[in-house]
Every structure is written in structure tokens, then in C-alpha cells.
Chains A and B, each alone.
Chain A
Amino acid sequence: MLETIALLTIISPFIGAILTVLVPKEAAKWVCQLFAGIASFGAIALAVTFLSGPEPSVTYSLLSIGQIEIFGLMVDKVSTLITVAVVVLGFLVSIYSLGYMTEGNREHPHTGQPRYYAFLLVFIGAMAGLVLSSTILGQLFFFEVTGACSWSLIGYYQSPKSLKSALKALLVTHVASIGLFIAAAYLFKETGTFAVTAIAGLDDSTKTIVFLGVLFAAWGKSAQLPLHVWLPDAMSAPTPVSAYLHAASMVKVGVYIFARAIMSGGEIPEIVGVIGVVGATITLIYGFVMYLPQKDLKRLLAYSTITQLSYIFLALSLSIFGSQMALDGAITYIFNHAFAKSLFFLVAGALSYSVGTRMLPQLKGIIKTSPLLAVGFCVAALAITGVPPFSGFFSKFPLFAAGFELSATHSWLMPIMILALIESVASFGWILYWFGKSVVGEPSDVVAKAKPIPTSMKFVLVILIIMSLCSSFIAANWLV
């Protein structure tokens, strides 16, 4: 039963994608909605069925040669939770695109082509496949599929600049995938299987190599220094794509595979944790510094995503030192950030749609003309920066709690945690600064002439505002 639902969730978007290209142009977007809907239904059904079942974790082997497991599904609490996030957000983004990808869009008047919807569907399917995969080879497979999809989605507008950014994204993440190639090969060499769970059986030196490989791949997809270069440029993608790829799905591939490896890794050499912490800290500081000169709301969000992912890496690395709280925090963080950052991106998209610009200095007094966007902006900002009772707080808090607890035994963690805390407060201040400048006050000329946004976009924004409040409660209840 679980197996069938999981397969349905993975395969239905791919079937939808093929149909999207084949049906007449006008029908394409509706086919996309239908299949994204089916996949979301599948993801939720999978979660519900799983939670009501007795097993803590189920693995299905789907493809194996001899005793070598090539591809399989792993259904457990973490994978079901993240599947819901990536698939449902994909559905929401495709609904949002109905309104955004039209001639009425002020910044980009353009009707969405069938290939836009097709690639969106492929992306949803690939994400579900990656999250549910039980083997490193499966992860690598979908890792590369998402890379190719992101290439066509980022370059969707076909301007030379966007094509260049698309190529950059493809290549940087492909170079990162080398880590996963190496990790999978070493795992196979030592254990004769590709199952992620086999990592636990490795000796220390091989395990370190495998983990560093996974970490390198994760850095690439999750845009950490020095492989972050693709993400800010990728903002030339259509905004719904940015919301999905650069908040909910693609950038989460990295942290998810790292988390998956940690969960299956048994005793992990501490050196991996140390490298993870150091990498996360450097990116954290870099990301914050890069906030300051940004005038484009989307680029600001891109750097914010980079730092938020560093927090997740920090939490995951801390969990290597033995903190279960940090691991739970990290998973919750992935879930919460997906919704909150998608909301933020979609608010930015809605601003481009109605105002025609997303340059911060030109945006003033949004609250007067479109209260919903102002509320969305506010909720997203508070959720991202971690102000209670919004979701961000509940994922940041366990991270700091675990970090300070661990610093009792690992004293070098103390200055790093303090640094992270300072960054957290400072970024809150910086986003609040732009919030004050752009949301409240008298509307600027462009904002005053804002046009209303379509219902489909409003609907999605409302749902995401609600989710930004409650996602952490869902995650917390789920993981208990």
C-alpha cells in the first residue's frame, strides 16, 4: 500500500509532464494542476497512511541486480514530512503560476509555455523521488535530474543573461555531484550495495570519505561557499520558479541528503562535524555581509536563503557530535524554511506582478495599496528571522539550545554559536529596516499605481501565511 502510494507520488508528475507537452497549448497548464494535485494528494496520503501504520521505517527495494540494491524507497517520518513539503509546495507554486505567468504581469508579460509546466512537474517528481530514495544511487539520479530541470527553468525566459545563469547553476551543481559520485562508488566498493543504510557499516576512513563526498554535493545544491555562486544569479528565473527551486526544493536537496546520510550513518567521525560547522560559519558570515548592498528584493532573498541553509548545515553538523535535538531542529528547519521562504519569494513575485518592480528603493507603502502583500511580507520576514510565535523561532531555538549544550564538551563551539546568534539578530534588524522602508509609510508613485493580483495568487499567499505560522507545530508533532 505504502509502496504504491509512494510510487504514485513519484511517477504521476512525470506522466503529467509528458502529457503537458502533448496536449494542446491552452490545456497544458490545467494538466499540470491536475497532476501536481494528484502528486500532492499522494504525498499527503502517504504521510497519513504511514503515520497510522505501526512501523517506524519501511524500505522497499524496487530495482536490484543480484544482491546489489540499485533503487528503492525509504518511507519514514523524515521522508514523509519532507515529501509533503516539496510536493505540496510544488502544487501551490503551479497554482500561483496560473496567475503569474500571464500577459497581465507587469514585470514579465508572458504566457506560460507548456514546457514551463512540464519542467515544473518533472521537478516535483524528481524531488519526491530524491526524498523517498533509499539508495545513494537513487539520490544521485534525481540529484542530476533536478540539476537538468533547474537549467531549463532558470533559463526559461531565454535572455542571454538567464541562459548564462542557467548554465552556471547546471555546472556548479554538476561539479558538486562529483562528491556524490565518489561517495556512492566508495560505498559500493566497501559494502557491495548502494543502500544509504549501509553507510553505518563502513570503517572510519571510508565513512569520512563518503560523508565528505555527500557534504560536498550538499554544499553545491544548497549553495554554500564556495559553491554558492549559482544561486544569486539564478534569480533571473521566473519568480514562482525561484520560490520553488530556491526556497523549497532544489536548495533543500543538499541539506536533505546530508541529513539522510547522518541519520543512517551510525557513529560518524567528528572531523565531518567540524568541517560542516566551519563551512556553515564561513557561509553564514559571508551571506550576511552580502545582504547589505542588495537592492533587488529577490537577490536579498537569495542571500538570505544561503544563510538560512548555513543554519541548517550548522544544526546537522552539530548533530554529528551526538545531539538528537539538533537533528530534529534541522529537519524542522528544512520544513519551516520551505514554507516561509516560498511565501517571501511569492510576495516578491506578487509585487513584480502588480507594481512592475521588485527593487526595494522604489517600493514604499505597500500596506496602503495591497494589505495582503504587506501582511505576507511581514509574516515571512518574522518567520525567517525567527521571531516567536512564527515558525522560524521553533527551528532556530533547538539549534541554539543544542549548540550551547554541546559547547560544554566542545568548547570551541561557543564562539561560533555566539557569532551565529549575533548574525541572527543582525539579519533580523536588516530585514526589519527594509520592512519599515517598503511596507509602511506613504506609497511611492509606482506602488500607488499597483494593480490587483489574481485570485490564484492570493489563495496561495494566504495558505502560505497560515503555514508560516503553523508549519513548526506540524513538524514538531510529526517528529515526536
Chain B
Amino acid sequence: MTGDILINSLSGLLIITSVMLIGSRKAKSSAMLYSVQSFVLVLTFLAIAKSVDAEQLYHWSITAFITKVIALPALFYYAFSKMSDPKADKPVIHFGWIIPIAGVITMASFMAVESVQLPLVEHLKPALAVSLGHFFLGLLCIVSQRNILKQLFGYCLMENGSSLSLALLANKAPGLVEVGITTDAVFAVLFMVILARQIYFKLNTLDVNQLTSLKG
């Protein structure tokens, strides 16, 4: 039972860290926050692994730690130190709005998972709701930012949500699957950063509002 409580409260912490991530103004501090959030995620994995005794999940926690807590934040940190566009740092949606919207998203996710009948997640419904909610928080992050690099965090949040639900629902899965997903996501982010670099050096901007030559 304590394991369930731990898992549920850790996932609650995930929501809080992601809202902070969305709200943070400074690019480099958001890279840090992402690292923190991933660390919470890894802790959640460990808690789940311990409570259901899933060995594969331990392995996965290690992969996740290397990629999400260290590699990706480092990549972001490096990218932000090379490229900056102060004009693009002002968010589209004010932080005052982000909090109530995040609240609505969380509530809706709780309601959506209410009717799930699987015995596996009977006591973990808050965590399942968080994994679903993370998804829309990621989306919120993308629409609320003007800086294309910060939009990438949205994608990472969504990816974290998927990882959490995978860990919750299929913690006995072969490790290859999880490694595959994580690697693919890392590659995706890497290529996005490369593309953002090309855009930055070609167009001298990171502001999504400047990318408007294609319309209709």
C-alpha cells in the first residue's frame, strides 16, 4: 500500500515540476527543471519497480537516468548557451493562466480514467491520470511558448507522460521496447535541435512568430 501512495505522490510532484517548467522564463533554468522533472520520473519508476518487483524496470530506470536526467538536459543547456533570442522568450500565454489551465487538464484526466477496470491500476489511478494529463500539459507547453527550443520541452513532457503510463501498465515488458522508445525520442530531439540550429543561423531567430512565410 505504501508503495502505491509513494507512486501517486511522486506523480503528483511530476505535475508540479512540469507546470514550473512551462512557466519558467529563463531558458537555461527550464533545462534544469526538465532534469529535475526527469529525476522525479526515474524515482517513480524505481518506486513502481519496487512495489511490483519488476526487474526490467530497474534497467529502464538506468537508461532513463542517463538519457533524460543527464543527456537531454545537457543538450538543451548547450543549445541554449549557443543560441538565444531574447525577443522570443516572452510566452504567448501568461503564467497566471497556465496554472488554472493545468488544473482543468488534471481534473479532466482524472475523470477520463475513472472507468478503467484493469486490476493492475486499481490503486494507481491518480498516477494513470497524471500520465494522461502530462500529455496535454506538453501540448500546453507547445502552444504557450514562442521560443522554438522551449517548444521542444513540450514534446519531452509528452514523452515523459507516455513513459509513465508504460511503466504503470506494462512494467513487465521486455526492456528492448522501452529502450527503443527512449532512443527514438532522444534522436527526435537531437534532430530538432540540429534543425533549430540551421534555422537560427539562417534566419537569426528562434521566434515561432517569425516563421510565417508559408501560409494557407
* A–B contact (CB under 8 angstroms): no
